Amino acid sequence: MLYVPRDGREVLEKISQTNTLEERSLRAQQCTAMLRLTIPAVVDKTDNRVNYAYAAWPERLVVVGTGGRIAYYGGPGPAGFKPAELADWLRKNVR
């Protein structure tokens, strides 16, 4: 469920499975706007290769280095979802 703008007000709407890259991009834009995210959002293609590669379901924290390789790979959530651990890793490894 996501609050989306409709006719000048926010309406709670169920987010259905997307079938195209355009639909995914629209949903990502809606989510970042409604959640007021200040970090970049990316959209997986419909083949879900990124999802399969990073096993991000239900949630996972991953840092990809500048060379495109995984630098930090957190455990699967919710038990492995440890933002404080990632923050500590970032303090020690990013300059």
pLDDT in tens, 1-27: 667 777 888 888 787 888 899 999 998
pTM for this prediction: 0.54
CA distance 26 to 43: 10
Q: Which of 43-47, 54-58, 65-69 has the lowest mean pLDDT?
A: 54-58
Tell me: do 42 and 60 sit in the same domain: no
Tell me: do 57 and 91 sit in the same domain: yes
- In this structure, the strands spanning 2-6 and 70-73 are unpaired
Tell me: do 74 and 84 sit in the same domain: yes
For Cα atoms 36, 39, 43, give the angle at the middle one, nearest 5 degrees.
Answer: 95
The tokens 């007000």 sit on which residue?
9
Residue that is last in its domain, among 46, 63, 79: 46
Range of the structural domain that residue 64 is part of: 47-95
One-letter amino acid for residue 81 of the chain: F
56: confidence class by pLDDT, cuts 50, 70, 90: low
Tell me: do 74 and 40 sit in the same domain: no
Tell me: do 40 and 1 sit in the same domain: yes
Tell me: do 37 and 51 sit in the same domain: no
pLDDT of 93 above 70? yes
Q: What is the pLDDT of residue 33?
A: 83
CA distance 87 to 81: 12
